[in-house]
Amino acid sequence: MRKILAVVVLLASSTAAIAQKSPGPDPLATRRGFEVGGQLAHYHYEEPDFAKFIGNRGGIVGAYTFPPRWNRVFFKVDSRGSYGALKYQGSGTQDSVPDLIIETRGVAGLDFFPGNGVSLSPYLGFGYRYLYNDSRGYTSANAAGYRRYSNYLYAPLGVTMRFDLGNRWVLAPAGEVDIFLIGKQKSQLSDANLGFSDVTNTQEHGSGHRFYLMLERDHFAFGAWWHYWNIKDSDVQPIGLGRAGLEPANWTRESGIEFRYRF
């Protein structure tokens, strides 16, 4: 019996020693696994001197970073869905306009550790942004609205920095340039019952950027973010009745807060 107890004590001691020598994931490295969370934001879309959509939004976010295949290299996919009931200002006003954004991206990057307590994680990838806006009905000036479907393809190029604050707390600012590749804008003009046909315009010129300032500790991450797009005039397409239409130059600004739980 004494020998058995001695073996049990020895095994328990060995297990405890191994546990003490096995730290958690490096807080300065890109964390692997799943992330889920939510975000709140203020949204402002504007076609200068013509129309605006402004309001608050709520959304969900998710991501998965693949287990490492090569040292310090990471592959990550992330997505978000965001909804708002916006206020239109232009040819009159209109309240509670449904507006949905769905965005998904995939990036590849590499972790660098240039000094104690700091890391750099540059990345490059491919992204898709979809927006649905339903302005059907009439404004306060009796102008008829219609549905809009927006599609962007872009290449995100950015870097995440991480600074060790102690006790596994990390400050993680990130900056990103979004290289606009192409956009397709479908306007369901038939909704307005003015005799115009539906039209799809191509957008070839634009740019975007985004910033994050996050606090991270083990399973939790939270902070603030900012997204911005500036898109130029589209091509011109016929819309019927001897008329032609384009998607005018516009800019979009989103800013908000976000919380993520990391598995």
Q: Is the C-alpha dihedral spanning 77, 42, 58, 142 positive or negative? A: negative
Task: Identify residue 81 by its one-letter amino acid code.
Answer: G
| DSSP H stretches of helix in the chain | 2-21
Q: Give the pair of three-digit tokens for residue 163.
A: 């600074």
Per-residue pLDDT of the chain (263 residues; tens, 9 = 90+): 444 334 334 434 443 443 344 456 789 999 999 999 999 999 999 999 899 999 999 999 999 999 988 889 999 999 999 999 999 999 999 999 999 999 999 999 999 999 889 999 999 999 999 999 999 999 999 999 999 999 999 999 999 999 999 999 999 999 999 999 999 999 999 999 888 999 999 999 999 999 999 999 999 999 999 999 999 999 999 999 989 999 999 999 999 999 999 99
What are the CA-CA distances from residue 241 to residues 32, 64, 146, 197 (Å)? 56, 50, 18, 9
Write phi, then psi, for 259 (nearest 5 degrees).
Answer: -130, 135
User: Distance (Å, rounded) from C-alpha 125 to C-alpha 102?
Assistant: 17
Name residue, tokens 């019927």.
Answer: 240
State the number of CA atoms in the 13 A half-sphere of 129 facing the CB. Answer: 21
**Please, are residues 134 and 150 in contact by the beta-carbon 8 Å criterion?**
no
Burial class (CB in 10 A: 0-12, 13-18, 19+), 21: exposed
Name residue, tokens 């549905």.
Answer: 147
* pTM tops 0.95, yes or no: no
